[in-house]
Amino acid sequence: MAKTFYITTAIDYPNAEPHIGHAYQKIIADALARWHKLNGEKTFFLTGTDEHGKKIQESAEKAGKSPKEFVDEVSEKFKEAWQSLNIKPDRFIRTTDKDHEKLVQEVIKKCDKNGDIYKGIYEGLYCIGCEAYYTEKDLVNNKCPLHNRQLELLKEESFFFKLSRYQKFLLEYYKKNHEFILPKERKNEIVNRVKEGLKDLSISRTSFNWGIPFPLDKKHITYVWFDALFNYISGAGKNAELWPADLHLLGKDNGWFHTVYWPAFLKSAGYDMPKTIFIHGFLTFNGQKISKSLGNAISPKALVEKYGADSIRYFICRNFVFGEDGDFDEKALINRHNNELANKLGNLVSRVSTLAEKYGIEKTKPTLEAKNLLKRIQIYFNNYELDKSLNEIFAYIDKANEHVQAKKPWETHDNKVLYELVFAIRNIAILLWPFMPSTAEKIAQTFNFKISLDELDKPLKIAKINKSEILFKKIQ
C-alpha cells in the first residue's frame, strides 16, 4: 500500500472576504501536499470554511441575509481565491455540510457516554471575534488581546466538557510526543499554560441559534469550536484510513484550541491523536497588520491579476521562514520576480529552448545531476523549511546559468552542451512543481518530459524542442 499523507489547514471564518493572510497558510499547505504527491504518497489535502457561531449570525444580519445565504456567498469567494492561486484541496469542507453536522452530534453523544459532559450555568467575558471566553488576566487594557474590542459579559445555561480532567493526560502526551506541537517555542508556551490548570469548557449556547443543534437538549446549539475542530475527521469522509492526520497547519491565534481542546475532545471520543500540529506566525502587508478597517485586506485574486499566481506562491514559500511572522512586501515580491524568476529561471529556459530549437540536442553524460540536491530538499521538506528548499533549487539554477556562460553554445552550436542544459532544466521543473505548478508544467511541455521524481537524472528522450514562451515578464 502507498504511504498516506493527510494535511489540513485552519478552516476560515467567512464573516469577511479572504485576504493574503489567509492565503499564506493555504499556499504552504498546497506546496507540502504536492511534494508528498510527487513522492508517490496517497495524499489528501483538506481546507474549507467554519460557518457557525454568533459572529456569522451578526454579519449576516448586517448584510440583510439569512446566515445560510451569507455563508454560501462568502464561502464561494474563498473557493475562488484558492483556485486563482492554483491551490487544489482534495476537499473543501463547509461546517454546514450534512456529513459534518451528523458526525459532530455523534461525537457529543460519545463524550457524554464517557462521562465528560454535564449541564450548568456559565458566566464570563466573551469575545464574539474569537468566539471564546476570556479571564480578566488574559485581557489587554480590558479588551480582547487579538481583536482589541470590549468583551461581553454573558450568562447562560450551558453544557460543559470536563476539560480539567485532561490536564495530566495532555502534559504526559506533550512530553512523550516531541513532534506533536511545532515549533518548539510554541510548545513551551502551551505546556506552561496547561500547567497552570484547566477549567471545564462551555460547549453549548442558548443566546443565539446559528449552529449545529446540540443532541442532548434541543434548546441548545453546539459551541462553534467543538463543531469546527471535528471537520478534520468529517472532512476525510469515507477515507477513514487517513486518520490520524499527519499535519495540521494553524495560525498562532488558533494554537490553544488545537493543542488543548482538540486532543482532549479526541481522547474523550475515542479517536487517535494527529501526528503534528504546526503553529505558524502571521503575515503583515507592506508593514501593516492586515485588516478591513485599514483598507489593506487585499484579495488574493487581485494580487494574482497583478503579479501572477506562481510569483505569489514563490514569494510566500521563499521569502519567509515558515513558523515565524513575515511581511508581504510588494517591493520585495517585485524584486524577487524580476531578479530570480525572470532573470535567472525565465532567461535560462528562454535561451536554452531557443538554441535547442535551432541546433537540437545530442546525448552525452551530464554533469549537472540532482541526486544530492534531492536528498537535501527531502530533509528541508521534512523540517517544513520550504525557503531552504528553494534556496537549493535556485543555487542549482545558478550553476546551470554559469554552465551556459562558460560553454557559450550560441557560439559553439554544441548540442551536447544543450543536452546537459535541457537535462538540468528538467530537474529544475520537477523540483519546482510543488511551489510553482503552472510554470513547471509549461517547462515540461516545452521540453517534452513529464513531472515525476522518477524522471530526475534519467537520460533524456531526444525530441524536437520548440522555443518557450516568455515565462515571466518583468514588472516595472
Cβ within 8 Å of residue 309, ≥6 positions away: 84, 85, 86, 438
Gap between the Cα atoms of 346 and 405, Å rounded? 15
List 289, 365, 413, 473, catalytic entry: 289
The amino acid present at 423, given as its one-letter code, is: F
Gap between the Cα atoms of 73 and 152, Å rounded? 28
Query: Burial letters for 144-177: b for 16+ Cβ neighbours within 10 Å, e otherwise?
Result: beeeeeebeebebbbbbbbbebbbeebeebbeee
**Is there a catalytic annotation at residue 144?**
yes
List 55, 100, 127, 388, catalytic entry: 127
List 19, 52, 187, 220, catalytic entry: 19
Which residue is it, cell 537535462?
Answer: 423
**Is there a catalytic annotation at residue 292?**
yes
Gap between the Cα atoms of 243 and 236, Å rounded? 8
List 79, 147, 344, 416, catalytic entry: 147
Nearest Cα neighbor of 40 from 438, 456, 453 is 453
Phi/psi class of residue 319: alpha, beta or left (left: φ > 0; alpha: ψ in -120 to 50)?
alpha
**Is there a catalytic annotation at residue 127?**
yes
**Is there a catalytic annotation at residue 403?**
no
Gap between the Cα atoms of 89 and 435, Å rounded? 15
Torsion angle, CA of 382/385/391/394, rounded to 10 degrees? 50
CA 316 to chain centre: 11
List 36, 111, 144, 267, catalytic entry: 144
List 102, 292, 363, 461, catalytic entry: 292
**Is there a catalytic annotation at residue 317?**
no
List 22, 54, 258, 301, catalytic entry: 22
Gap between the Cα atoms of 350 and 324, Å rounded? 36
List 36, 130, 280, 337, catalytic entry: 130
**DSSP state for residue 474 in the 8-state scheme:** P
Nearest Cα neighbor of 111 from 265, 326, 272 is 265
Cβ within 8 Å of residue 44, ≥6 positions away: 4, 5, 6, 7, 90, 91, 236, 239, 242
**Is there a catalytic annotation at residue 344?**
no
Q: What is the phi/psi pair of residue 237, to 5°?
A: 60, -125
Q: Which helix (H) or strand (E) holds 284?
A: strand 283-285
CA angle 470, 386, 397 (to 5 degrees): 40
Residues serving a catalytic function are 19, 22, 127, 130, 144, 147, 289, 292
